[in-house]
Structure 1
Amino acid sequence: MEKLRNGVLLMTVFVAAAVVVEVAAAQTVHVVGENMGWTVPRTGGSTAYTAWASSKRFMVGDILTFNFPTDIHDVLRVTKESYDECTSTNPIGDLIVNGPANVTLSSSGDHFFICTIGRHCLSGQKLSISVTGSGGGILEKLQCPPPEDGSSGGPMTGPPSPSSSSVLASSFFMSVVFVAVSMVV
């Protein structure tokens, strides 16, 4: 009986650890442009943000952090046509004017962002990324659908808060630990 109890305990801890690892790996915060931030590129022009994005893997649930001073730059998610033409005529969601700003990637597919101030977009301050799903794990099953208005979920102020899936996983992990300890005692 003791061997069975230890085996169940070990299996329970293993499953809980797997859930925690998946939740921890599911969300990445990408600082757009890294040290350059969200600004008119000094070098590289229209390819500066393309080069930055080419080394990244964007997944549903990830967060883009646009570092920019308020009233100097802004961020707007747009259609591909508006991205190509550097116009704000087809926005997806609201214009984000307060920096820095966090945008959660809530859907897979191509996402396009521009700065609408002056000729900033035409000078290369625009970002195009491709977002993939989370791979079919527990987080994808827990993922909230994107807003019906097609927005990216809007800006977040301050650091990212725990997602409902990470709270659920933490609660699950604590329940598993409680059950495991109860079985041993």
Structure 2
Amino acid sequence: MSPAEGVSFGSLRADVGLLQTELYLCARELGAAGERVHTQTRVLEEQELQDLNVERQAHGSSGAFWEADMESLVMVIEMKNKILNDQRKDLQMMEELVEKNRSLEQTILHLNHNNENQRVQMDNCWTLPQYVLLQAHGSSGPFLEADIKSLVIIIDMKNKILNYQRKALQIMEELVEKNRAQEREILY
């Protein structure tokens, strides 16, 4: 198999680099969104306390009014706490997915590196039998034929290894895409 027929390892590395950059930007955006939610919640709570103080000053200290107002404030705070907890869970899930994607991307880089090494070794294996055949042209013997058969077996084994690694790389890329889809579901 010639290098032109194989997977473009340079483009895979570029894609992985782009994916890492995109992942980093998503993580930063997610962190900023969490901060905004926290800030907005704090501002709303402060505003409610200010409104409560204004109401207290305007109406005096009516017991029934304060009980009803306190109940409604407790309900609002409970709802906001639930929303905040849900957002924290989503943020935690996103962080876990980001970490899983980093791990998968590292595995993809490792597999790409191994595939490149295997491709180079296969190219070298193809040139060795050609060299042996050129050197042995005109002189044949059982020893030379056994060597050629051994080389063919080695080449077949390396082809099988390379095909296995390509399948593993494809599976890893599918897992990364699946995790990205989960991230998009959480974000939207």
Query: Which of these two proteins has the greater Rg computed from alpha carbons?
Result: 2
Q: Of Structure 1 and Structure 2, which has the larger fraction of its residues in strand?
A: 1
**Normalising to structure 2: TM-score of the pair?**
0.36
Select the structure with the greater relative contact order (CA < 8 A; seq sep ≥ 6). 2
Looking at secondary structure, tell me which structure has more helix per residue: 2
